Structure 1
Amino acid sequence: MFPLAVFSIAMIFGALWDLTTMTIPNRLTIALVAAFVLMAPLVGLSLQQIGLHMAAGVAMLLVGMVLFGLGWIGGGDAKFVAAVALWIGWQDLLAYLLIAALAGGALTLALLFLRRLPLPELLWRRAWIARLHDQSAGVPYGIALATAGLIVLPRTIWIELAASAA
C-alpha cells in the first residue's frame, strides 16, 4: 500500500504546486522517479516489467520535450508526465494520456471562461489567483496530469500487487 500512498501524495502535491505557482518542481519529479526505482523491485515487479515501465517513462520524456520545444507545454509538465508514465507503464499509458487530454481540455475551457469574468477585489490579493486569472498566463496542466494519474491508478499493476500482498 505504501507505493499507492507515495504516488497519490505526489499527484496531489504536483497539482497543488502547479495551481499555486504555475510550476512543478524538479524535486517532486525526481522524488517520484526515485520512489519508483526503490519500490518497484521491493513490491515484486520483475526486471522485464521494470524495464517496460522505464521505457514508457523515457518515451513520454521525449514526447514531452518535443511538446515543450514547440511551446505547447511547460518543462515541468514534460518531466512530470514522464515520471507519471514511469509508474503507469505501457499497459495503461494510452488511457492515462486520453484522460489527461480530456481533463486538460476541461481545465483550459474553465480557465478561459473564468478569465472573462471580473475577479473580486478580495481574490486579487491572492497572487496565485490573480496569476491564474491573467489572460496571458498559461494553464496549470499539471492539475490534469495529476488528476489523470489518480483516475488511472486503480487500473494499474500497483493495485494488483497491493491486493496480492493483503
Structure 2
Amino acid sequence: MAVTFWAGLALLLPACLHAAWSDLFRRLIPNLLCLATGLAGLACAGVLGGIDALTSHAAHVLIALAGGMLLFRLGMVGGGDAKFYAGCAGWFALPQGPGLLVYVGLAGFVLFLGWFTIRRIQRRPIRAASDRPFERLPYGLAIAGGTLLLAFDLI
C-alpha cells in the first residue's frame, strides 16, 4: 500500500470516527468538522495530483453539497449529514462519486436494518423528535462507513 494512502487515511479516519460518534450520541455533526474534512481532502488532492485532481475533487464537493442541500430542503437528510457527505466527497475525484454514493447507500441500508432490529427488540416505536421521517437514523454513521469502505476499496 502506498504511503500516501496511509497519510490520507490518518486524516480521514479520525474525522469519520468523530462524525459517527457525534451523530450517534449528540445527533450533531459539527460544521467545523465538515469543513476541515473537505479542505483536508482537497489539500491532499492538490498536493498529490496537482491542479487537475484538485479541480475534479472540488467539482465533486460542489455537486455533493448541492445535492445534499436539496435533500435537506426536502427534509430527507439533516444539514450536518449533507455537509459531512460533501466534506467526504473532497477525498474522491468526480468519477469516484457514484462509488461513494453506492457505498454510503449500502452502509445506510445496513444501518437501517440494525436500527430497525434494535427498535423492534426493545419494542420501542421508531419515532423522530420532529415530523421529518429521515431524522430517525444517525446517518453520519453510514456516511463515515461508506467513505471508509470506498477509501479501502481504492487501494
TM-score range relative to shorter protein: 0.7 to 0.9
Quote the Cα distance in structure 1 between the aligned partners of 2:63 and 2:45.
19
TM score, norm. by length of structure 2: 0.83
Mark the structure with the bigger radius of gyration: 1
Structure 1 portions without partners, runs of 5+:
120-132, 160-166
Contact 1:24 1:142 in 2 (8 A): yes
TM score, norm. by length of structure 1: 0.78
Structure 2 portions without partners, runs of 5+:
1-5, 129-135
Q: Secondary structure at the match of 1:73?
A: coil
Q: CA RMSD in A?
A: 1.8
Q: Report deviation, 1:134.
A: 6.5
Q: Deviations over 1:51-88 (max 9, x none)?
A: 11000010000000011111110000000111111112
User: What are the equivalent positions in structure 2 for 1:126-145 lying under 5 Å apart?
Assistant: 135-137=126-128, 138-145=136-143
Contact 1:54 1:86 in 2 (8 A): yes
Give the aligned partner of residue 133 of structure 2.
none
Quote the Cα distance in structure 2 between the aligned partners of 1:89 and 1:64.
17
Give the aligned partner of residue 14 of structure 1.
19
User: What are the equivalent positions in structure 2 for 1:92-131 lying under 5 Å apart?
Assistant: 92-118=96-122
Give the aligned partner of residue 34 of structure 2.
29
The one-letter amino acid of 2:13's match is S
The one-letter amino acid of 2:84's match is F
Q: Secondary structure at the match of 2:19?
A: helix
